[in-house]
Amino acid sequence: MSQATIISIETMRVACKSCSLSTLCLPMALCPEDVERLEDIVRHTRPLHRGDLLFRSGDRFRSLYVVKTGSLKSFAPSPEGGEQVLGFHLPGEVIGLDAIDRRTHVCYAKVLETSSICEVPFQRLAQLTAIIPSLQHQMYRLLSKEIGHDTDMLLLGKKSAEERLAAFLLDMSKRLQRRGLSPTDFHLSMSRHEIGNYLGLAVETVSRIFTRFQDDRLLGVERKHIELFDLDALETLAEGMGATRQQQQRT
Amino acid sequence: MSQATIISIETMRVACKSCSLSTLCLPMALCPEDVERLEDIVRHTRPLHRGDLLFRSGDRFRSLYVVKTGSLKSFAPSPEGGEQVLGFHLPGEVIGLDAIDRRTHVCYAKVLETSSICEVPFQRLAQLTAIIPSLQHQMYRLLSKEIGHDTDMLLLGKKSAEERLAAFLLDMSKRLQRRGLSPTDFHLSMSRHEIGNYLGLAVETVSRIFTRFQDDRLLGVERKHIELFDLDALETLAEGMGATRQQQQRT
DNA sequence: CGCGCAGTTGACGTGCTTCAACCGCCGTGG
DNA sequence: CCACGGCGGTTGAAGCACGTCAACTGCGCG
């Protein structure tokens, strides 16, 4: 028990310079000296557990959060009391970028599995970006990348159910690969409900398509464990070349 | 004719400090001295006309563009040769934020009606933000706002056709209002095809819902001229309180 | 004056949702 | 240790919202 505690604290306190995410996260392309300046403002909190909320809708925006380990989902309350899943967040990804403008969080961030998270106070980060040009560029790229990803998701909304699920799986695959994990064999920390909600599909539809993909030997599924057998075929599907329902609306 | 030319040139050359958009655009909250520094890097191009392309997919990213007058649409080529409308851009709005990260434009920007546009070289803008803190904040807020708007659009993709069109009209209404125009009486510069494509709906569906809204006295339509009679009702519709198809998927 | 395209309207087909039943895993408590 | 309840997930049947196809209208432009 005491050993577990020590490990946990060690994990918590790992500095940016020795963090395995340093090539993905904010320190990317910073010189050691600047990494240290960044470290000075980063706050490490104790690990959060499944179901914990990182922040709530309405909370005042003060910090960006970076996932160090684990995963989260963000969601907005929907009018009827349900929730709308806005995205999933993997290690190295920054949460809260949408709140900079509004000064207030308008969504919830919930932990899907035990996760450790770095807190980066935004005001101090902004001050730092003014004196570290490469950090400023990194911030602009980060924000821009988020816009690009959102745009991709926006396009998804116009595709068929099969295309959406294929695109979702490929997106996860690529994001995991960037983190040094297998792009073809991984664990989904979110439920089918959450996937369906995220993609705008009914749970049943998600389930049916998973089995359809499995029947077609595109992948193997066993509960939350996914194995992708044919990335190319999935890519083709996701692109919408499926011949059915050509949504090519020229204007 | 010569008078028209003079007016056009006058419009082209208007400086940031005397531009009617100065409270919406980048100069927002800058002191006069800093506005002048911004002006120094802004390039004014001749007005573009309907159908002109501001940039193409594949073009190297060099500048952000701000709409001064007129309107544009951005779209991505879809696999089968059609196009996917990504958004519409009104005066005071910045185009190209998604390209900062990729260093290359991945979509097209096409002019919907005669428009004048300011070009802001990004490298020089970034240099300027490092020495003008309020400009840096403005940039962060701009990028963040875009993320927020994209997220809103993403949520739209999960709603019914009526909800989507209502939300689209309200979005236009609010954006026009911020520009000092009537929020209830305006002209849509895009075609039904483009609206449908943007919202992920068939043209016929858009048309049907327009007439349905008109029958319900929510608005008046005559070709591209729109008059909104009942903003509250549209708001309620857009929120998805329509009692039909409650997409409240709890997880 | 007439071609052409944007827009509207109607009839029909279908992909997805909805409703419902069932299965299997897992935790809990007797 | 097993029984039981509950939830996540899968599968089947039926309905509906929206897409597709097709015909028609009318403004706009050469």
% chain A with pLDDT above 70 = 90
d(CA B204, C1' D17) / Å:
13
Q: What is the pLDDT of residues A91-131, one digit of tens each?
A: 999 999 999 999 999 999 999 999 999 999 999 999 999 99
For residue B82, the chain A residues in CB contact (below 8 A) are: 246-250
Judge whether residue A206 contacts strand D, using its CB and a 7 Å cut-off: yes
For residue A178, the chain B residues in CB contact (below 8 A) are: none
Name residue, tokens 């500048």.
B63
Judge whether residue A192 contacts strand D, using its CB and a 7 Å cut-off: yes
End-to-end Cα separation, chain B, in angstroms:
65
* Residue of chain B whose Cα is closest to the Cα of A132: B130
Chain region(s) in chain B for CATH 1.10.10.10? 159-239
* CATH 2.60.120.10 assigned to A9-155: yes
In strand C, the nucleotides that come within 7 Å of a protein beta carbon are 6-11, 15-20
In strand D, the nucleotides that come within 7 Å of a protein beta carbon are 8-13, 17-22, 27-28
d(CA B15, C1' D25) / Å:
47
pLDDT tier, A15 (very low <50, low <70, confident <90, very high otherwise): confident
Judge whether residue A204 contacts strand D, using its CB and a 7 Å cut-off: yes
- The side-by-side arrangement of strands in the sheet containing A185-187 is A185-187, A225-228, A219-222
Q: Is residue A91 classed as helix, strand or coil in its secondary structure? A: coil
The tokens describing A129, both together, are 């970006």
State whether A154 and B155 contact (CB < 8 Å): no
CA dist B170 and B239 (Å) reads 11
CB of B162 within 8 A of CB of B202?
Answer: no
pLDDT tier, A240 (very low <50, low <70, confident <90, very high otherwise): confident
pLDDT at A75: 96
For residue A11, is pLDDT > 60? no
Instruction: Measure CA to C1' and name the residue nearest C25.
Output: A223
State whether B247 and A82 contact (CB < 8 Å): yes
| CATH value of B11-155 in 2.60.40.10, 1.10.3720.10, 3.40.1390.30, 2.60.120.10 | 2.60.120.10
In which residue ranges of chain B is pLDDT below 70? 1-13, 241-251
CA dist A14 and A39 (Å) reads 10
Secondary structure element (H or E) that encloses residue A69, with its range: strand A63-77
**Average pLDDT over every residue of A208-228:** 95
Amino acid identity of A121? P
Higher pLDDT, A92 or A22: A92
Instruction: Measure CA to C1' and name the residue nearest C8.
Output: B207
Chain region(s) in chain B for CATH 2.60.120.10? 11-155
CA dist A45 and A59 (Å) reads 18
- What 8-state DSSP symbol labels residue A104? B
d(CA A234, C1' C17) / Å:
24
CB contacts < 8 A, A to B, total 174
Q: What is the pTM of this model?
A: 0.90
pLDDT at A223: 87
Query: In whole numbers, what is the pLDDT of chain B averaged over residues?
Result: 90
For residue B150, the chain A residues in CB contact (below 8 A) are: 147, 150-151, 153-154
pLDDT tier, A248 (very low <50, low <70, confident <90, very high otherwise): very low
The tokens describing A204, both together, are 């049943």
For residue A143, the chain B residues in CB contact (below 8 A) are: 97, 100, 140, 143-144, 147
The tokens describing A65, both together, are 């959060």
For residue B191, the chain A residues in CB contact (below 8 A) are: 251
Instruction: Give the CATH architecture of domain B159-239.
Output: Orthogonal Bundle (1.10)
For residue A74, is pLDDT > 80? yes
Strand bridging mode A83-89 / A108-121 = unpaired
Contacts of B226 (CB under 8 A, 6+ apart): B169, B185, B186, B187, B188, B219, B220
Chain region(s) in chain A for CATH 2.60.120.10? 9-155
Closest CA to B44 of B67, B27, B61: B67
pLDDT tier, A241 (very low <50, low <70, confident <90, very high otherwise): low
User: Residue-wise over A202-215: b if at least 16 C-beta within 10 A, else e?
Assistant: bbebbeebbeebee
